[in-house]
Structure 1
Amino acid sequence: MDPSYKARKEAFVSNLSGSSILEINAVTLVASTSVLLWSALQSRLSFFASDSPAALVADFLLNVLAILFATTAYSSAPWLLNILLVSPVLFLVLTPSPARTKKAKPPRKSTATATANDDVQGKAASLPIHPFLTTYRAAMMIVTCVAILAVDFPVFPRRFAKVENWGTSLMDLGVGSFVFSAGVVSARAVLKGRDSRSARPALPKRLIGSARHAVPLIVLGLIRLWSVKGLDYAEHVTEYGVHWNFFFTLGLLPPFVEIFDSLTAVIPSYEVLALASAALYQVALESTDLKGYILVSPRGPDLLSKNREGVFSFIGYLAIFLAGRGAGIRVIPRGISSSNNPQQARKSVLTSLVLQALFWSTLFFFNSTYAFGYGANIIVSRRLANMPYVLWVSAFNSAQLFLFCLTETIFFPWVHRSSGKDGEAERASFATSKIMHAFNRGGLGIFLIANLLTGAVNLGVRTLDIQTPQAMGILVGYAAVVTGVALAMDRYNIRLAL
């Protein structure tokens, strides 16, 4: 890469201060309002029940391009885009419902309301398919894939890119949300282990098993490191360090989480473990020279000094993962018993998510502001992954889960009213966008493809000098290719999950 252009690229993503949390919420709300419109079209008209090109294009426009436009062309007017997406929903809801197709009909009573004790005790204990979790994870993945390339173009506002030291931004939130969502999904394995009658494996055996999950991510991290250094690719060193990258953070999470998982025998709450980890890390930042060492200390010859951002921010990301696992433990189980019917179980999930969002938001308020003289007034730092950052990410993702869960509850009530496995896959499929399903299922594979395409575009195009129309054309084409890859992976059952 031309040295002068490389310097421009690095300056383009350096020394940024971010934007307000209100603006970030307005932009990310587009993902929720897009799903709201998709759900209204599907539940009222069965619009996406077929595999027609029109349905696929509409799905792409709503669930992929809406997010792209929210972060680029509509970045100065996200509320307008939200209004444009919500307005048709009001029309569809207020219009008398046409006759539903066969696939749109709620399940038969025998499937939707099992009353026999053996059905309640057996089928209800199983872990159900939750379309809203699929949608939540897919939306996060789409935002991530869009942002990692869009950030290299001037059409993507600098306030949405990662901040240098202090502040909040869309991409800072995206990194933490990626980890939180991985934590949510990891709860399924924990719940399966609890339901199993076999003895729990010892910690050393679990560590070996977690290492198998970590190795592919570490390998990807090494490949990224080699490619960045070998191709002289522009890099932002203060993001993670000289050699560290996000793949290393993801790869090291599984073994450390297993260690913390053993602590649940003493502290049976992942949220408490997350909060304790974040608090102890924050105490270390404030009471020692650690904060200064990470932010302003000269980089020495040793590996720790060169990669101190990645090494120490890992503590914050671990806390975020644990908070995500705690959320997953609460929302994944079916929650049905002889005294708790499906409607009550879903109400409990919604209540739990609201309380979680309020809990993390309240802690964030007192941690990051003066809070009428009672707060700590610590500024958010993604570079440190400090306590306010952990609380912010946890509060945001809990609220996102609530919004997606509420949308599913309103438009596809027969999904949660089922207490058995009969027809569950068909009901979940009807309530889930095909594109969202593909992005969720592809997981790590799609993220890797998006990173490779991002690198290819940056090596082939001088993104800093591209005008808005051309930039949007490239980004739309990129989004279409990534979506096509996701759909192809889903169709041919190629899965590389996080």
Structure 2
Amino acid sequence: MVSSGGAAGTSATAAGAAAAAAHSYKQLKEEFVSNLSGGSVTEIAQVCAVAPVVSLLWSVLQARQSFFEPYTPLAFIVDFLLNVGALLLSVTLYSNAPLLLNLLLLTVATFIYLIPADPSIRRKKAKLPPNASSKPSPAGSSPPLGVLSTKPFLTNYRGNMLVVTCICILAVDFRLFPRRFAKVETWGTSLMDMGVGSFVYSAGIVASRPLLKEKAEGKTSPLSTRLVRSFRHSIPLLVLGVVRLLSVKGLDYAEHVTEYGVHWNFFFTLGFLPPFVALFQSALKLVPSYAALAVLLSVGYQVLLEYTELKAFILVGARDNLVSMNREGIFSFLGYLAIFLAGQDAGMFVLPRALPSRFGLSKRYTMLANMAAWTLGWWGLYFLVTNYRVGFGLSVSRRLANLPYVLWVVAFNSGLLFAFALADVVLFPGFYGATDARVEKDMYETATSKVLKAYNRNGLAVFLLANLLTGLVNMTVPTLHVGAVTTVGILGLYMVTLTGVAVGLDVYNVTIKL
């Protein structure tokens, strides 16, 4: 018979062993995402290319075969498999062969394009020509076209970016997800480093909408009004940042301190962007564009890194006060602010409906030419800054959010936007020839994935849910000890849940504004 004292001792020993095992596992998880050096820019480009290639395949199915009209359960399944499933494969089972996955998708797209088009589409085109000759709706039946338009390729771009981001924030905790795709420690490039910057860049594009509306109305809000409006947008994000901080500390969740600091997190970065952008908007009286402002800010920040003690402070300084404890988040904010401003600049020439025609091109091809020129310009700056032979030889650092990182993110996203727009303009020209709001809305619905539209509509809310589910999975599943098949199954169920919630909100016409 065991004495009560012996039983208590055994229980205490077991509890101590369990606590030690939990601490050991937490440490193992932190080490799993630490001291990583990333991968090549070329491989990251091949993985990211899956998104516009999938969009091309979806567009060919719709433009040539009207596959997603009506939107049947089969259409939804195919929509999900293309715009979510293919992206999941690109970072898991096909992570070592992204080029092969792209070639397979392009082959299918080519085959479908060569199949004779659905006769019903031809009859529809005969009634409603896609080349701007469609008749407007009778007077009073549809509102006139506004200054701005919601272009299909922007929805597809933002939707794909959100899908990849949601996949990666959970997939990174599994061994199937390559370590070179996870965030680097200090110097280098990775898929997740690009994802963080892309999130900020796309937010900048959306933020240009109110500015364009004010410009069209010929008015400019005073600084005080802009600040009040920006703080109103910031408060929910800052609250989410505090909630995440308390939950991570309270649940003893594994965390990577050198990512943002001891207390800082990505929600704080997003939350502080609006008021600072409102302040920087006043500088446009002296600087010609948001792009120039972004370059000046990131160059100034890089000069501080190179010619002061700031770089050493961020990388190896002691964490002995609130600022030093969160130095990565505080100072990298300058780089993310530059990325946001560059995104706003892209929005200024992508969102307006009426673009002046140039070089004898139509308005939609003028837009493509502008996008191609900006993409080449940003890539040229990136090459100049990072090349060791003819440039400055600087290395990319997401941790610092330095000048090379800013240029890499902006150039990369400019190229992705151009790729999405190219497929959109070529396969759905009817959208750009719409003569009233009703026709344009119909063409938008035709040219846009329902799944990506749903992600785009409630992007921040879905991203928050993805963070909550990621935490839940990590607290209930030993992700480091899970095999490949189980990993894909968990990630698949996770994405089915996120997609179901996003599409459900869209079906019931619910928009959650945070």
Shift of the alpha carbon at 1:206? 1.0
Report which stretch shifted further, 350-359 or 209-218.
Answer: 350-359
Deviations 1:155-174 (A, max 9, x none): 00000000000000000000
Aligned Cα root-mean-square deviation (Å): 2.1
Q: Does 1:307 align with 2:326?
A: yes
Q: Which residue of 2 aligns with 1:359?
A: 377
In the alignment, the residues of structure 2 paired with residue 284 and residue 493 of structure 1 have an alpha-carbon distance, to the nearest angstrom, of: 48
Q: Does structure 1 conserve the Cα–Cα contact (< 8 Å) formed by 2:269 and 2:329?
A: yes
Q: Does 1:194 align with 2:210?
A: no
Q: Which residue of 2 aligns with 1:167?
A: 188
Report which stretch shifted further, 160-169 or 200-209.
Answer: 200-209
| Counterpart code for 1:135 | N
Indicate which of 297, 312, 322 corresponds to 2:341: 322
Q: What SS does structure 2 have at the residue aligned with 1:456? A: helix
Deviations 1:117-155 (A, max 9, x none): xx9xx9566212200000000010000000000000000
In the alignment, the residues of structure 2 paired with residue 479 and residue 255 of structure 1 have an alpha-carbon distance, to the nearest angstrom, of: 33
In the alignment, the residues of structure 1 paired with residue 323 and residue 156 of structure 2 have an alpha-carbon distance, to the nearest angstrom, of: 38
1:66-465 aligned at under 5 Å gives the runs 66-101=86-121, 105=125, 108=128, 112-113=132-133, 126-197=147-218, 199-300=219-320, 302-336=321-355, 344-370=362-388, 372=389, 374-465=390-481
In the alignment, the residues of structure 2 paired with residue 123 and residue 320 of structure 1 have an alpha-carbon distance, to the nearest angstrom, of: 34
Shift of the alpha carbon at 1:15? 0.2
Q: Does structure 2 conserve the Cα–Cα contact (< 8 Å) formed by 1:336 and 1:345?
A: yes
Shift of the alpha carbon at 1:78? 0.4
Q: Does structure 1 conserve the Cα–Cα contact (< 8 Å) formed by 2:355 and 2:367?
A: no
Shift of the alpha carbon at 1:114? 8.1
Q: Does structure 2 conserve the Cα–Cα contact (< 8 Å) formed by 1:43 and 1:104?
A: no
Shift in alpha-carbon separation, 1:340–1:106, aligned structure 2, 3 A? farther
In the alignment, the residues of structure 2 paired with residue 195 and residue 29 of structure 1 have an alpha-carbon distance, to the nearest angstrom, of: 35
**TM-score with structure 2 setting the length:** 0.92
Q: Does structure 2 conserve the Cα–Cα contact (< 8 Å) formed by 1:336 and 1:342?
A: no
Report which stretch shifted further, 94-103 or 215-224.
Answer: 94-103
In the alignment, the residues of structure 2 paired with residue 418 and residue 16 of structure 1 have an alpha-carbon distance, to the nearest angstrom, of: 50
In the alignment, the residues of structure 1 paired with residue 282 and residue 149 of structure 2 have an alpha-carbon distance, to the nearest angstrom, of: 26
Shift of the alpha carbon at 1:88? 1.4
Shift of the alpha carbon at 1:438? 0.2
Q: Does 1:65 align with 2:85?
A: yes
Report which stretch shifted further, 74-83 or 1-10.
Answer: 1-10
In the alignment, the residues of structure 2 paired with residue 365 and residue 458 of structure 1 have an alpha-carbon distance, to the nearest angstrom, of: 39
In the alignment, the residues of structure 2 paired with residue 342 and residue 63 of structure 1 have an alpha-carbon distance, to the nearest angstrom, of: 36
Deviations 1:448-487 (A, max 9, x none): 0000000000000000000111111000000100100110
Q: What SS does structure 1 have at the residue aligned with 2:35? A: coil
| Counterpart code for 1:329 | M
Report which stretch shifted further, 316-325 or 417-426.
Answer: 417-426
Q: Does 1:20 align with 2:40?
A: yes
Shift of the alpha carbon at 1:496? 3.0
Q: Does 1:3 align with 2:23?
A: yes
| Counterpart code for 1:307 | N
Indicate which of 61, 72, 77 corresponds to 1:52: 72
In the alignment, the residues of structure 1 paired with residue 510 and residue 126 of structure 2 have an alpha-carbon distance, to the nearest angstrom, of: 31
Q: Does structure 2 conserve the Cα–Cα contact (< 8 Å) formed by 1:135 and 1:437?
A: yes
Q: What SS does structure 2 have at the residue aligned with 1:15? A: coil
Deviations 1:180-217 (A, max 9, x none): 000011111110111124x4221012101100000000
Shift of the alpha carbon at 1:94? 2.1
Shift in alpha-carbon separation, 1:409–1:34, aligned structure 2, 3 A? same
Q: Does structure 1 conserve the Cα–Cα contact (< 8 Å) formed by 2:50 and 2:102?
A: yes
In the alignment, the residues of structure 1 paired with residue 511 and residue 235 of structure 2 have an alpha-carbon distance, to the nearest angstrom, of: 17
Q: Which residue of 2 aligns with 1:492?
A: 508
| Counterpart code for 1:89 | A
In the alignment, the residues of structure 1 paired with residue 27 and residue 180 of structure 2 have an alpha-carbon distance, to the nearest angstrom, of: 20
Q: What SS does structure 2 have at the residue aligned with 1:48? A: coil
| Counterpart code for 1:203 | L
Shift in alpha-carbon separation, 1:460–1:115, aligned structure 2, 3 A? closer
- Over the matched positions of the two proteins, sequence identity in percent amounts to 51
| Counterpart code for 1:346 | R
In the alignment, the residues of structure 2 paired with residue 214 and residue 103 of structure 1 have an alpha-carbon distance, to the nearest angstrom, of: 50
Shift in alpha-carbon separation, 1:17–1:190, aligned structure 2, 3 A? same
In the alignment, the residues of structure 2 paired with residue 391 and residue 462 of structure 1 have an alpha-carbon distance, to the nearest angstrom, of: 38
Q: What SS does structure 2 have at the residue aligned with 1:155? A: coil
Shift of the alpha carbon at 1:488? 1.1
Aligned length: 489
